[in-house]
């Protein structure tokens, strides 16, 4: 097995990278993920992992899904962030995108946080906007 090298730059909150997730089928390539962990964790030299939420081309069907247009992401298709599937990945497993992708806004990251709270079964903790 070839050791992976860490990304040339630290991932930042809201950026879209690619990662192979443990829940993905073995033959699936890396998928787009959005970095949702705080900057202190992302930039810390001893932190070897980041929190990510996977993107899917499956249309949003649940309260934990956040729909995104190609204009928001820079990807070629409409995408859905699956907030119920936030996971931890090693920084060295992240792959920088080959094309220029957009950084998602803090407003979108807040929607991911609300989706995670719903996924945990505590919708009453979410304040009305």
Predicted pLDDT of residue 99: 87
Q: What is the pTM of this model?
A: 0.90
Per the listing, tokens 């930039």 go with 43
CATH of the domain at 20: 2.30.30.110
* 87 within some domain: yes
Q: What are phi and psi of 119, to 5 degrees?
A: -60, -30
* Domain around 83: 16-120
* 24 within some domain: yes
**How many residues does this entry show for the chain?**
129
* pLDDT tens for each residue of the chain, 129 residues long: 345 666 678 899 999 999 999 888 888 889 999 999 999 999 999 999 999 999 999 999 999 999 999 999 999 999 999 999 999 999 999 999 988 899 999 999 999 999 999 999 999 998 765
- Number of domains making up the chain: 1
Distant-in-sequence, close-in-space partners of 106: CB < 8 Å, separation ≥ 6: 13, 14
36-49 per-residue burial string, b: 16 or more CB within 10 A, e: under 16: bbeeeebeeeeeeb
* 11 within some domain: no
């Amino acid at each position: 097995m070839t050791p992976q090298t860490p990304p040339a730059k630290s991932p930042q909150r809201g950026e879209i990278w690619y990662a192979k997730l443990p829940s993905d089928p073995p033959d699936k390539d890396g998928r787009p993920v959005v970095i949702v962990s705080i900057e202190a964790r992302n930039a810390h030299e001893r932190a070897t992992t980041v929190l990510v939420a996977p993107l899917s081309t499956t249309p949003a069907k649940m309260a934990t899904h956040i729909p995104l247009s190609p204009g928001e992401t820079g990807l070629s298709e409409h995408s859905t962030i699956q907030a119920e599937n936030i996971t931890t990945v090693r920084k060295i497993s992240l792959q920088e995108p080959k094309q220029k992708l957009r950084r998602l806004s803090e407003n979108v990251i807040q929607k991911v946080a609300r989706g995670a709270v719903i996924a945990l079964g505590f919708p009453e903790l979410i304040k009305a906007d």
